[in-house]
């Protein structure tokens, strides 16, 4: 069985951060977003993986991900020339799939308890398609499965106005290679009114052609951090899952540590208070500061005389002399925020290479 994970898309809901950074390479809980689906697919036993990309993204992706050996996997990079919808993402992977079964895992979805039960079922039972489902109170903005009186899937509807239940379909899809026939011949699937090949169309083609398509509920939490608030909520949720403190660098004797903390290599913490859950990366300097719960600080950051809480700092952020506490913020790569006058509060969504003097 093979895997397909896309890193394309414009990330419009995360602008301005994504004007210069692909959202799949923004950290959440100090791990790049794309690393979560990679680890999920590999942990389910799938190591032959296609990474699909849009024009201009290849070298950037390779610089971060390499050949997959970091995860014990083998990556094949596949170009999606035009962003023509989710179904087109795996359509361009037909040669890579080469007749095998495959799982299509969106690069911006996180499944906290993994997907191995679904992979095992699909490999053993061999349906032609498997639709993953989750309970979701806002399924009117998602794909929804419809079942007949025997509980079998007979229809897959995008964003229905009045769904019959609270099930929704997240970004995890399973197919047999027969699905590539839906892009060929007289009865091939057609673009939707918005001009895209929707992911529902291949499933509906399989159903209409009397192929077996099953559904299976995903256990655990499904996270889809596509917007600013969702990003912070996901960061908070993942930090709350931390079970232990891991210190690869030790704070000095004047610092106070409380709660679950993870600290990377070559990090210096001086005369500061860290209250977990907090993750701090490698080569970080924290001086005379307070780091409050649900904060993730990526590698090579500098924090001096600053209080920060419930925030995500990307790489090489510099915060100095901020009298106002920083709350509920995402601060982009190499942003520099330095304060020169007393003040009371800050809430920031700052993109890459910004420089702010307060």
Q: Can you give the pLDDT at residue 139?
A: 84
Q: Which residue in 278, 300, 304 sits closest to 291, CA to CA?
A: 278
Give the model confidence (pLDDT) of 148-178 as tens digits.
888 888 888 888 888 888 899 999 999 999 9
Calpha distance 338→325 (Å, rounded):
13
Grade residue 345 by pLDDT with cuts at 50, 70 and 90: low
Calpha distance 238→124 (Å, rounded):
32
Q: Which residue in 300, 334, 123 sits closest to 214, CA to CA?
A: 123
Q: Which residue in 130, 171, 134, 125 sits closest to 6, CA to CA?
A: 171
Give the model confidence (pLDDT) of 243-279 as tens digits.
889 999 999 999 999 999 999 999 999 999 999 999 9
Q: Can you give the pLDDT at residue 22?
A: 67
Q: Can you give the pLDDT at residue 25?
A: 85
CA of 20: how far to CAs of 43, 143, 192, in Å?
31, 30, 30
Calpha distance 158→139 (Å, rounded):
9
Q: Can you give the pLDDT at residue 10?
A: 58
As a whole number, mean pLDDT of residues 91-99 equals 96
pLDDT exceeds 60 at position 16: no
Name the token pair of 327: 């709350």
Residue 16, preceding peptide bond in cis (omega within 30° of 0): yes
Calpha distance 306→24 (Å, rounded):
28
Contact assessment for residue 302 and residue 319, using Cβ atoms and an 8 Å cutoff = yes
pLDDT exceeds 80 at position 8: no
CA 169 to chain centroid: 16
Q: Can you give the pLDDT at residue 252?
A: 95
Calpha distance 37→30 (Å, rounded):
15
Which residue ranges make up each domain of the chain?
2-238, 243-357
Calpha distance 358→342 (Å, rounded):
9
What one-character-per-residue DSSP string does 109-143 give? -EETT-SHHHHHHHHHH--SEEEEEEE-TTGGGSE
Calpha distance 51→93 (Å, rounded):
9
CATH 3.90.550.10 describes domain 2-238: yes
Give the model confidence (pLDDT) of 291-316 as tens digits.
999 999 999 999 999 999 999 999 99
Give the model confidence (pLDDT) of 318-335 as tens digits.
999 988 899 999 888 888
pLDDT exceeds 70 at position 13: no
Q: Can you give the pLDDT at residue 334?
A: 86
Residue 277, preceding peptide bond in cis (omega within 30° of 0): yes
Contact assessment for residue 334 and residue 352, using Cβ atoms and an 8 Å cutoff = yes
DSSP label at 85?
-
Q: Which residue in 141, 115, 111 sits closest to 130, CA to CA?
A: 115
The percentage of the chain sitting over the pLDDT mark of 70, rounded to a whole number, equals: 92
pTM across the whole model:
0.89
CATH architecture of 243-357: 3 Solenoid (2.160)
Calpha distance 236→192 (Å, rounded):
36
């Amino acid at each position: 069985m093979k895997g397909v994970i896309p890193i394309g898309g414009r990330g419009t809901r995360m602008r301005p951060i994504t004007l210069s950074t692909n959202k799949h390479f923004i950290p959440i809980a100090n791990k790049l977003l794309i690393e979560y689906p990679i680890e999920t697919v590999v942990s389910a036993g799938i190591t032959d993986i296609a990474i699909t990309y849009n024009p201009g993204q290849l070298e950037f992706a390779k610089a971060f991900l390499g050949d997959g050996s970091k995860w014990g996997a083998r990556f094949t990079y596949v170009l999606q020339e035009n962003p023509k919808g989710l179904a087109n993402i795996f359509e361009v992977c037909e040669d890579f799939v080469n007749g095998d079964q495959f799982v299509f895992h969106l690069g911006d979805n996180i499944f906290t308890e993994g997907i191995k039960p679904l992979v095992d079922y699909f490999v053993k039972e061999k349906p032609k398609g498997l639709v993953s489902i989750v309970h979701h109170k806002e399924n009117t903005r998602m794909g929804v499965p419809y079942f007949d009186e025997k509980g079998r899937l007979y229809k897959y509807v995008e964003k229905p106005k009045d769904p019959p239940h609270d099930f929704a379909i997240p970004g995890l899809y399973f197919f047999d290679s027969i699905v590539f026939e839906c892009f060929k011949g007289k009865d091939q699937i057609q673009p939707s009114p918005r001009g895209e090949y929707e992911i529902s169309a291949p499933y509906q083609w399989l159903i209409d052609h009397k192929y077996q398509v099953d559904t299976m509920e995903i256990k655990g939490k499904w996270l889809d951090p596509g917007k600013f608030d969702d990003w912070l909520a996901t960061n908070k949720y993942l930090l709350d899952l931390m079970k232990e403190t891991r210190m690869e660098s030790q704070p000095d004797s004047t610092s106070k540590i409380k709660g679950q903390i993870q600290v990377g290599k070559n990090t210096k913490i001086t005369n500061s208070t860290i209250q977990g859950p907090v993750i701090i990366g490698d080569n970080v300097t924290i001086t005379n500061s307070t780091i409050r719960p649900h904060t993730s600080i990526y590698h090579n950051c500098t924090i001096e005389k600053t209080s920060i809480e419930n925030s995500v700092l990307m790489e090489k952020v510099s915060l100095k002399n901020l009298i106002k506490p920083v709350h509920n913020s995402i601060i982009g790569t190499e942003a520099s925020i330095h304060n020169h006058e007393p003040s009371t509060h800050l809430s920031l969504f700052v993109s890459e290479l910004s420089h702010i003097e307060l």
